[in-house]
Amino acid sequence: MSHPVPAVMRYWANQPLALKGLVVVALPLTILLGALILLYVASNVESRAEDDVRRAFAIQRDTHQVHALLAEAAAGVRGYLLTREERFLEPYRKAEAELPQVMQRLDRAIRDQEVRRGFERVSALTTRKREGLRNLLALSDQVGRTGNASTPIEPALIANKIVLDAMREEIENIQRREAIVLDQRRTRVEEARRGYLILTAISAGVGLLGSLAAVYLFSTGIVRRVRLLEGNAERLARGEALAQFPEDADELGRLAQRLARASTLLRGREQELRDSEERFRLVIEGVSDYGIFALDPEGRVTSWNLGAERIKGWQAHEIMGEHFSRFYPAETSDYLPAAMLDRARQDGTAEDEGWRVRQDGSRFWANVVITALHDERGELRGFAKVTRDITDRRRTEEALRLAREEAINASRAKSEFLSRTSHELRTPMSAILGFGQLLELDQEQFTERHRSAIAQIMKAGRHLLSLINDLLDISSIEAGGTELVIERIDLRDLLDEVYALAAPIVAASGLRFELKDPSAPLFVMGDRRRVVQVILNLVANSAKYNRTGAMVRLACRQNGPHIRVEVEDDGPGVEPADVSRLFTPFDRLGQQNRTKVEGTGLGLALSKQLIESMGGQIGFDSQVQGALFWFELPQELLPLRNGREVPVATENEPG
């Protein structure tokens, strides 16, 4: 339970420290001066000697006060430079106000010539010291205005310190000289003092009482509270609650209030930090798909989450403090962990995929990211490591890679088989056709039945030879062995040539063949012979399968950066379900009618591969009635790539 504080004590506690210090110092001096006055009044005989004594004490006091005022002013200026708070300039302003008076008193009081010479040196040092303090304040204001941290404040502080040390030495010399003079004067009046021992004792007693009172005031007003502040500072450092401090209005009271506010703010921030760390810990520990843990700068484990435990098998108490190289297999544990940490130090982060080891010795394929952690000064504090088990993904990728390799090998084997088979069939087929042609030369000698048989032999042989040639073309293209002669082709001339070649084929089917010439010259880049082969193939298909229509149309036009060639008919068209099978080798649509329409099932597939090998594309558009096949070729060439020029589309007209 707190007791009410007397009004006098409250008034004393609320006074500034400077006033309290002044009272504490002035009270004993006042009592002493009173005692001297009593002695002076008591005896005129001793008055002159006592005047000299008082003058000596006054000189000592004033010289001490000069040093004290300047020291306090210098401390205040330093405090102002550090905090920019105006209250620290109170000692400086006090010194500026009182120093001229004190110096005048010293000037009037000093009689001794040696002391006078010391006083003149002190006076010069005092002037320099005051000018130095003013210079420091001016430099501080300049830094505040310009923000230039390179202003030479530190040399000025050192220079002022040197001046203050020199002044202290001069004042000590003056006080030593005054002490000598005082001893001389005391010797002369010693006999006079003996007569007034009683009065001196009374004065001493009064002075002792005054000193005790000053000590009491100093202890209750300053020392006790300073100790309480010291205890609160220690509690603040330990994060404990502060002890209650008197609500005084002086500097110590205000300092205690600021300390209490700082303690409240610090405890609040510590609580927020603990709450934030707890939330972060709960988030990290709750992640089970990723192993997230921390390493110290040497690579030892300092934290461990649930995901790391699930993936690697170690519990936290089993792995904490262990080096993370334990997670690496024997073939990489000697160099890879250190290399990962070095990369993270240099680049900020390091990522790797490879085999890692669980606690039971089994292996898993992991994706690992290590991130370097630095504090606000940029010093390395450790690493954050995130591990993800991607063994299933790697198995899937490996299976896909093997399947792709098997498909490539199967396609290569198929191409090689077709190529060998075609070459093997071509030799006897050439002999069959050769002998058939010989028979045709002498067919007039045979009966009608034999001539029909010879015609069927030649028809079947030519069909088989066409099939063999198509197989050779497809296998050659798939094997990358087709040599294309890419050149600039005038499509108008090429279509005229194709029209002349294909007209008999269309006419044989009883259809009308239409050619739609382009309105302007159109040029493409491609192999002329292969382009003619593709167009003849498309026209022949339209003529063969157009059993209900009346015409086949051939045209070309500009289509953006490409040139499009179109072959259109007005026949039955293609069923939507069969469109995706159009360009599949050996897949002849409408096989139920294959006895009526000849074909190998390779024409469209070969056309597709030829167009794509020239950098173009081929396709089919359904019509309301009939079918429309088209292909597009580019107008320019890419730069050389792998030693060959490849066609590429461009919007510029060839010149």
- Which DSSP letter does residue 626 get? S
Beta bridge partners of 516: 555
Residue partners of 191: CB distance under 8 A and separation at least 6? none
At 506, is the pLDDT very low, low, confident or very high (cuts 50, 70, 90)?
A: confident
| Residue 390 in this model has a pLDDT that exceeds 70 | yes
Say what the pLDDT of residue 70 is. Answer: 79
Q: What is the mean pLDDT of the chain?
A: 75
Beta bridge partners of 513: 552
CB 103 within 8 A of CB 126: yes
> Any idea how long the chain is?
655
Which tens digit of pLDDT belongs to each residue from 535-581? 888 888 888 888 788 899 999 988 888 889 999 888 887 777 677 66
More confident residue, 74 or 49: 74
Burial class (CB in 10 A: 0-12, 13-18, 19+), 592: exposed
The DSSP string of 236-251 is HHHTPPPPP-----SH
Measured between alpha carbons, how far is residue 374 from residues 98, 323, 369, 379, 386 in Å?
54, 20, 16, 5, 17
Look up tokens 């004993």; give the residue: 28
CB 532 within 8 A of CB 619: no
The Cα–Cα gap between 220 and 78 comes to 28
Say what the pLDDT of residue 520 is. Answer: 80
Q: Classify the C-alpha dihedral 211-215-217-218 as positive or negative.
A: positive
Q: Which of 148-157, 308-317, 402-411, 491-500 has the lowest mean pLDDT?
A: 148-157
Say what the pLDDT of residue 651 is. Answer: 39
Q: For residue 520, how many C-alpha atoms fall within 13 Å in the half-sphere facing its CB?
A: 5
Look up tokens 């490591």; give the residue: 385
Q: Mind spelling out the 3-state secondary structure of 5-20? A: CCHHHHHHHCCCHHHH
Say what the pLDDT of residue 650 is. Answer: 40
The Cα–Cα gap between 83 and 74 comes to 14
Say what the pLDDT of residue 644 is. Answer: 44
Say what the pLDDT of residue 643 is. Answer: 43
Q: Can you read off the two tokens belonging to residue 525? A: 């880049």
| Residue 426 in this model has a pLDDT that exceeds 90 | no
Q: For residue 296, how many C-alpha atoms fall within 13 Å in the half-sphere facing its CB?
A: 8
CATH, domain 287-389, list 3.30.450.20, 3.40.50.1370, 3.40.462.20, 2.60.210.10: 3.30.450.20
The Cα–Cα gap between 114 and 372 comes to 72
Q: Does domain 44-192 have CATH number 1.20.120.420?
A: no
Average pLDDT over residues 300-318: 85
More confident residue, 156 or 42: 156
Look up tokens 């107008």; give the residue: 635
Q: Which of 113-117, 214-218, 651-655 has the lowest mean pLDDT?
A: 651-655
Say what the pLDDT of residue 77 is. Answer: 81
Fold of 396-474: Helix Hairpins (1.10.287)
CB atoms within 10 A of CB 549: 19
Percent of the chain whose predicted confidence (pLDDT) is above 90: 6
Q: What is the pTM of this model?
A: 0.35
Domain ranges of the chain: 1-16+196-282, 44-192, 287-389, 396-474, 484-648
The Cα–Cα gap between 273 and 292 comes to 21
List the CATH code of the domain at 484-648.
3.30.565.10
Tell me the backbone φ, ψ of residue 447, rounded to 5 degrees: -75, 170
Q: Can you read off the two tokens belonging to residue 255? A: 């300092």
Q: b/e map of 240-269 (b: 16 or more CB within 10 Å)? A: eebeebeebebebbeebeebbeebeeeeee
Say what the pLDDT of residue 296 is. Answer: 92
- Long-range Cβ contacts of 337-344 (<8 Å, 24+ apart): 337/299, 338/299, 340/368, 340/370, 341/295, 341/299, 341/370, 341/383, 343/370, 344/370, 344/371, 344/372, 344/383
